[in-house]
Amino acid sequence: MLKASRFTAFYVTVLVLIAANQAFAQGRELTPDRVNQRLQAAAVEILVNGRLAGSGAVIDRDGIVLTAAHVANGKDLRIEVLLADKSRIPATVHGKDASHDILLLRLPKQSGGYNAIGLARKLPLVGSKAYLVGTPFFRHRLFFTGTVAQTHESAEFLNPHYVGVFYIQSASPHGTSGGAWVNGNGQVIGLQSAMLFVNNAPHGIAFVAPLSAIRNLLNAPQTIAVASAGFAVEELWEQPPNYLQQVTDGTTGLVIKVIVPGSPLEKAQVPIGAILTSVDGKPVQTRDSFINAIRAHKPGEEVTLTIRAPDNETAQEFKFKLGSLQ
């Protein structure tokens, strides 16, 4: 019995050590208060032409700031960054990926560098907690919590273009755009881009630029250009009953809902409500499949769209050159 007891004690000790090593390797999450302290030190506010325009965070001690592209979108802008200690520092554009609503800014070098938070090594898990510091409606540096709702990239139309995002369940009102979403260790997992609104009312779903796109731009800073079609679609099953009653049985495709002024579809007088059935001969049924088909091309390349009225099986083909989003 003594030998068995010693063996059992030894076995339990080994299991405890293994569990402890695994926990150490994975990294224990911080308390929300500690996450807030870490994030507050690196969080910034973005001033454009002297006006508070959005949020952001320093993600490299050399002075690289992460924010949203739409926060400082335009030419000849005077961009400044307001640090945690209220230092007001001029910034220049370091890299831009408008297809994910990401903007990197560079601050002047300073002795000792800047307080910064790093990027997470891996994607967050669905259901995990996420945290954000932002400045909604000029209320400075508020702390928000959320829950990761989906991690794969989807397309959302932020007029006049689509951007690639994933989703976090959270309130993220105007002014938080550009804030860094972090995990329980205070590491960046995404960038606050926009929020789901229906009839001008928020619905608690944040649109978040993905970690992979942030890392790619940080590793190779540049201005990224992608193809843009100049219109937005909705999926057929989203439509109201009175529209669906008009649609011929067996129809598949996407409903054209927004046409950007000056775009090829406007010039061709394609009506709102027409059904896009294919791109380059390949059927499309979801927003994501539409965006993937468009962005398989480069700006300036020609694309072929097949479009028909909801109550008419006769289709027309439209060929035009794609625009550029950058």
CA angle 148, 151, 153 (to 5 degrees): 135
Q: Is the pLDDT of residue 21 over 70?
A: no
Using CA atoms, how far residue 235 sits from 23, 36, 103, 284, 292, in Å, is: 44, 39, 30, 9, 15
pLDDT in tens, 145-155: 999 999 999 99
If DSSP codes are grouped into helix, strand and coil, which group holds residue 197?
strand
End-to-end C-alpha distance for the chain, whole angstroms: 74
Cβ contact 12:5 at 8 Å: no
Residue 8 has what pLDDT? 45
Residue 27 has what pLDDT? 59
Q: In sequence order, what are the beta bridge partners of 54?
A: 46
pLDDT in tens, 186-219: 999 999 999 987 777 778 999 999 999 999 999 9
As a dihedral over the C-alpha atoms of residue 165, residue 170, residue 176, residue 177, rounded to 10 degrees, the angle is 10
Calculate the CA 165 to chain-centre distance: 4
* Exposed / middle / buried, residue 108 (Cβ in 10 Å: 0-12, 13-18, 19+): exposed
Per-residue exposure over 204-215, b if at least 16 CB sit within 10 Å of its own CB, e if not: ebbbbbbbebbe
In this prediction the pTM is 0.88
Among 45, 32, 136, which residue's Cα sits nearest to residue 84? Answer: 45
pLDDT in tens, 114-140: 999 999 999 999 999 999 999 999 999
